[in-house]
A and B are shown apart, each in its own frame.
Chain A
Amino acid sequence: MVEYRDQNAPPGGPYQWGMVIDLDRCTGCEACMVACKAENNVRIAGEDEAAKGRAVSWIRIERYWEGEYPNAQLKFMPVLCQHCGNAPCEPVCPVYASYHTPDGLNAQVYNRCVGVRYCGNNCPYTVRYFNWFEPHWDEPLNEQLNPDVTVRSVGVMEKCTFCVQRIRAGQQTAQKEGRRVKDGEVTPACVQSCPTEALVFGDRNDPESRVSKLAESDRGFGLLEELGTKPAITYLKRIK
């Protein structure tokens, strides 16, 4: 196979984007969900569609109850695309709409997608969202669409991109200045908006980055990693 040139290749090897989610810090405030919607032009499904189970949020807070009342305890777990190193969604796509970027992102090429939805079935995290209808935004929500991000058409699968538009902008700035992206220079919208800093994003190829150090924690685990998906997101276990 011909290796294609990575035009954004930084000095000293490629990036490996990754995230750490500290479950102990997550309060379930859902700021990440709102920020993600605003940043990525995620469509508003509306009440009817949401009732049918078609609400969209590229990052969601899963809520689990533990124990019985009155000793019930609430647990939150933010779940977004895990950008698996060995992603189950990728080999099943018949048209290469779901593919892996050299810097470790699981990308979705909206223009290429024909909508067979196999990737959605094969994703064990259920984090892929389909455009059942042509998306629309009620006034005045359409005024705040992000010009850096596409609006996905009807019939294609979409998902979290780790805010690839921000990553690319950061990479280009760094490349112009002939250096690597500094730790913390690029932050996806969810990471930026998390009030408790439960979410940390960065380059896993940089051993000094915050994300690399946190991921080494004893509390770290990958969600459903027993499936061999090699998720790029490390969760940090909750401390009782």
Chain B
Amino acid sequence: MEARKDFFLTKQKRAGERAHWELIQKANSDLLAPMLRTGPAYYLIVAILALLVLAAAGAWTYMIQTGIGQTGLHPPIFWGIFIASFVFWVGVSHSGTFISGVLRISNAEWRRPITRIAELMTLFSVIVAALFIFVHLGRVWRFYYLIPYPNQREIWPNFRSPLMWDAAAIFTYATSSLIYLYIPLIPDFALMRDRVTGWRRPFYRVLSLGWRGTQTEWRWLGMAIRIITILIVMVMISVHSIVGFDFAVSLVPGWHSTIIPPYFVVGAIHSGMATVVMGLYLLRKTYRLHDYIRLEHFDKMGKLMLLITLLWGYFYFVERQVVWFGGIPDEMTVLDAILYGSYAPQHWVMILFNFLIPLIALSIPRFRRWPLGLLVIGVMINIAMYIERILVIVPSLAHPRLEYAWGRYFPSWVELTILVGSFAFFLLLYVLAIKFVPMISIWEEKEGILHGRHEER
């Protein structure tokens, strides 16, 4: 069909066609290159990350052997870094679905190099988040009590408990984000099946599910992506709302607030987008993908981040303002501790990093086109969002209603080791994935080139 058309094309247009064809060939080789070429620096990074993960695994093993007492927790503060990390990682996981989902739904052309990077982040951070559920259990060897399975004693888990909702939500989200990652990968797996040799060939043959690239297959693929995209955006919003319910449905001053679920969703997207920008910058730098991840992408991500910054700031202000105006003594104790008390330094750093600096910096068009600047903003937002998770959990728990029981909390070395290990684990999964899947969706990129051709005509 295409060839027949070509016959009638002018010379000039035919040259244009050739240029597109070359672009497509270039995309194939550029984007497969990170998977096929591996330098010594790569192995060094993997080794360092693996060591950190091993250290965390050791710390966890030690904690299982001796008890949760290895943490810095004590009454009345029963939750600390583990739950904060859980919430944080669930938050990071919202990058993938929000960015790629929303951009796919809205047919944004500039999404193409971003979706895969973001979707991989979703899957890996959900895995890390799920691990924290186990890390946090007092008797992790009895985790199966949380699973509804028929048993002789006819005891089911308590579905009134938000923690059960959590377990169900995380499982649903992990499953659906795996499917969401996998479906758009099929044509790329097929591409690799045809290009690679050795042990990888049968591996990709299985993964590509016999993809041949017929018109029907493409139509089905498009339909599958559209359906799962819409579903997963809904799952994403519900998942982080449920994590918010963990706090909102309790009686604890500072937690019992209707705004917490939507606020958590916005906070999650805030840290998720920041992580995606960091990923964009690092991959672009490491693999010289300047032709694919362009300044335009940083600019547009910067605009989205600015929007979320404003939204986050608004939600945050509303939450605090309502408590302050109500002036209920138990609630005010927590608020005072955060605004002026022992948590004030962290709190104001958070406001600075999460709201003020991004707001000012991202409002400047020139700044948005400066990738390094966006990386810095991304790091700042993530630090601030982690502090924010801690500030949700600790000050509230530290000030229960009976003042006699007030307490303070500082994490122990075991908790900090596991925390560092979780970051290393996330990075390790990501670094390993670079060798198994193309970081930029090749077929979508090529589709973009062809779209560009149609526009030229």
Contact = CB atoms under 8 A, between A and B. Distances in A.
Given A52-B74, A54-B69, A126-B402, A114 B160 contact: no
B142 interface: yes
B164 interface: yes
B252 A62 contact: no
Interface in A85-119: 88, 91-96, 112-118
A118 B76 CA distance: 11
A7 to B, nearest CB: 16
B136 A116 contact: yes
A49 interface: yes
B438 interface: no
Contacts of B140: 114
A34 B369 CA distance: 69
Contact of B250 (A79, A122, A126, A153): A122
Contact of B146 (A114, A120, A124, A134): A114
B161 A92 contact: yes
A67 interface: no
Given A49-B69, A116-B137, A130-B138, A62 B402 contact: yes
A82 to B, nearest CB: 11
Contacts of A128: 75
A94 B75 contact: no
Contacts of A64: 404
B110 interface: no
Contact of A118 (B163, B401, B405): B163
Contacts, number: 132
Given A126-B405, A132-B68, A155 B138 contact: yes
Interface in B147-197: 155-158, 160-164, 167
Contacts of B139: 113-115, 153-156
Contact of B145 (A54, A79, A112, A134): A112
A49 B402 CA distance: 22
Contacts of A112: 145, 155
B67 to A, nearest CB: 4
Contacts of A54: 69, 74-75
B contacts with A: majority SS: loop
A contacts with B: majority SS: loop
Given A92-B250, A125-B402, A126-B400, A120 B78 contact: yes
B407 A62 contact: no
Contacts of B252: 121-122
Given A114-B146, A117-B78, A121-B250, A91 B160 contact: yes
B400 A113 contact: no
Nearest to B396: A121
Interface residues of B, number: 42
A95 B145 contact: yes
B144 to A, nearest CB: 9
B230 to A, nearest CB: 30
Contact of B407 (A53, A94, A130, A224): A53
A49 B70 CA distance: 11
Interface string B69-89: 100111110110000000000
A131 interface: yes
A177 to B, nearest CB: 32
A15 interface: no
B238 to A, nearest CB: 18
Interface in A120-147: 120-122, 124-126, 128-134
Contact of A121 (B79, B146, B157, B160): B79
Contacts of B167: 94
B143 to A, nearest CB: 7
Contacts of A79: 402, 404
Given A53-B74, A126-B400, A95 B157 contact: yes
B138 A133 contact: no
A115 B137 contact: yes
Interface of A: 49, 52-54, 60, 62-64, 79, 88, 91-96, 112-118, 120-122, 124-126, 128-134, 153-157, 224, 227
5 contacts: A54-B74, A114-B137, A130-B68, A133-B69, A155-B139
